[in-house]
Amino acid sequence: MNLRLARTIAEARAEVAAARTRGLSIAVVPTMGALHTGHAALIERACAESGFVVVTLFVNPLQFNDAGDYSNYPHNLQADLDLCEERGVDVVFAPSVDEMYPRATRTHVDVDTVTEPMEGRFRPGHFRGVATVVAKLFHIVQPDRAYFGEKDAQQLAVIRRMVDDLNFSIKLVEVPTVRETSGLAMSSRNQRLSEAERQWAVALYKALEEARRVIESGEASAAVVKARAAEVLAEYPQVSAEYLEIVDPDDMHPIETITGPVRIACAILVGKTRLIDNVRATPHPG
């Protein structure tokens, strides 16, 4: 069947209910639109694994701590619909802000601890907005599976914790980060980079790769690893780092001594554009 566009919660629910009566398993891929190859990887995986796929397109005002970032967020509904149709998506749910928030919400989902470092420190309120909208989308679609990118590892850790703590009966599927050949992770915000900025932005991946290399060659001190990564970033004076942390892959808290698998996460500013990325690293035994 062809792609259908649901603008209201009632339409989305009716689509899912009809799919359920046909015995199909339901997948959701939550997005903010401006879809790129990274989103496409989530969508393709969902289509391969589920009978009925709903992609949500909603730029959620609750999760933007910067009004300029919200008003400048790229939109391209027709291109997004085309990408979804080509991949075999069943329904795109693209509600208006009024549909999702007909009045100021008095109920929020606050996940503590996991939300505190990194993005939580630099974007106050961001994860509260993310967890709240994702909980709403989960209640609207009631999927069996939900697809998220490793690109936003802390977001995924927050949602994983919410799903566990609040007993959502949903399997979360983590999809590896899709990158350009330069290593730059695909992101809707890359559209805002000038040609020169795009070249400088590779500093982010280069620093993460250096940190991974140092960890895998046996360095256990997070301070030493971070200093090496900082040297790479310093080669790109046009870029400023907000944080570069080596964290526990589950609770996302910075660690000092690396004894097992970790995640290295970094946020930079290139001009006015803020970019985040992360990689895993595992020290080799012995």
Q: What kind and span of H or E run contains 67?
A: helix 67-71
Closer CB to ligand PAJ, 155 or 215, in the complex: 155
CB 233 within 8 A of CB 207: yes
Looking at residue 188, what DSSP letter applies?
G
| Per-residue CA distances from 109 to 13, 32, 93, 95, 150 (Å) | 22, 19, 22, 20, 21
CB of 23 to ligand PAJ, least distance (A): 27
126 is catalytic: no
Q: How far is the CB of 215 from ligand PAJ (least distance, A)?
A: 22
**Residues 36, 39, 75, 139: which is the catalytic one?**
39
Beta-carbon contacts of 101 under 8 Å, excluding residues fewer than 6 positions away, are 61, 62
For the CB of residue 141, give the shortest distance to ligand PAJ in the complex, in Å: 12
Provide the binding-site residues for ligand PAJ, judged by CB under 6 A: 30-32, 38-39, 41-42, 60, 63, 130, 133-134, 148-149, 151-152, 155, 175, 177-178, 185-188
Closer residue to ligand PAJ (CB): 175 or 214: 175
Q: For ligand PAJ, give the closer residue by CB, 26 or 188.
A: 188
SS (H, E, C) 204-244: HHHHHHHHHHHHHCCCCEHHHHHHHHHHHHHCCCCEEEEEE
Q: How far is the CB of 107 from ligand PAJ (least distance, A)?
A: 16
Residue pair 123/65 in contact (Cβ under 8 Å)? The answer is: yes
214 or 266: CB nearest ligand PAJ: 266
List the catalytic residues: 39
